[in-house]
Structure 1
Amino acid sequence: MNAEELRARTKNLAVRIVEMVERLPRTIGSDVMGKQLIRSATSVAANYRAVGRARSRADFINKLGIVVEEADETLFWLEMLIDLKKVKEADVKDIVGETKEIVAIFTAAHKTARTNRK
C-alpha cells in the first residue's frame, strides 16, 4: 500500500466516523465521546498527511508516532461507545476493523522507522 492509498484510507475513516457520530443519540456521554472520537479520527488523517512533510528523519518518526497514538485513541473511543451501548457492535464492525488495521499498519511502520534510524 502506497502513501496516497494510506492518505485516502485515513481520510475515508475520518469521514465515516464523523457520519457515525452525527447519528449517535443526543446524550451528554454520547456528545463528549463523539467529540473525542471525531478529534482523534480526524487527527489520524491530518497527522498522516503531515508525515509526508516531515523535515527530518526524527520529525518523520515523531509524526508517525502521533498517528499511532491517535489511531489507538480512536479505537478506544469506539470501544467505549460499544461498551456503553451507544452503538451496536455489529453496526460499527467495519469501522472498528478498519481502525484496527490502521493501528497495526502505522504501529509496524513506526517500529520499522525507529529500527532503521539506528
Structure 2
Amino acid sequence: MGVSILRDKSYSFALLVIQRYKSIVNEKKEFVLSKQVLRSGTAIGALIREAEFAESKKDFIHKMSIALKEANETIYWLDLLKDSEFIEHTVYAGLHSNCKELVAMLVSTIKTAKSKI
C-alpha cells in the first residue's frame, strides 16, 4: 500500500475533523472534548507526513506506530462525543468509519514495514 494513499486519506480525515470541531464549538459550545479530537485527529496525518522522510525503516515504523496510537485515541474521543450527545450518530458513524479505515491501513503499513527489516 502506498504511503500517498494513506497520506491523502489522513488529510481528508483531518479536514472532516476540523469541520466537525468548528461545528461543535459554534453550535454546542463544547471546547474540551472537541479540542482533544481536533488534536488527535489532525496528528494522524502529520505523523504520516513525518514518516515519509523517516531517517530509517525503524524510524518509519516508529512514526507510523505513533500515528496508529493517535488514530486509536481519536476513536476514543469520538465515542465520548457521541455518548455525551455532542455529535449526532450519523456524524459519528462517518467519522468513526473513516478513522477505523485509517487504523486498518496503518496496521497493514506497519506490518509490511516490519516484515522488511
When the two structures are superposed, what TM-score results if normalisation uses the length of structure 2? 0.90
Instruction: Give 1:58's aligned residue.
Output: 58
Q: Report if the CA contact (8 A) 2:6-2:105 is conserved.
A: no
Residue by residue over 1:74-117, the C-alpha shift from the partner in whole angstroms, topping out at 9 and shown as x without a partner, is 11111110111111111231111010010111012213322432
**1:50-89 equivalent positions in 2, closer than 5 A:** 50-89=50-89
Q: Which amino acid in the other structure matches residue 31 of structure 1?
A: F
Aligned to 2:113: 113
Q: Which runs of 5+ in 2 are unaligned?
A: none
Change (3 A) 1:51 1:103: same
Partner of 1:101: 101
**Equivalents in 2 of 1:67, 1:116: separation in Å?**
20
Q: Distance in 1 between matches of 2:41 and 2:70?
A: 7
Tell me the amino acid that sits aligned with residue 105 of structure 2.
Answer: I
TM-score by length of 1: 0.89
1-structure distance, mates of 2:107, 2:85: 28
Name the % identity.
Answer: 30
Amino acid at match of 2:75: L
Counterpart code for 2:19: E
CA apart distance, 1:20? 0.5
SS at match of 1:22: helix
CA offset at residue 2 of structure 1? 2.5
**Partner deviation per Cα, 1:20-55 (whole Å, 9 max, x = no partner):** 0111110xxx31111111110110010000111001
1:5 equivalent in structure 2:
5
Indicate the RMSD between aligned Cα atoms, in angstroms. 1.3
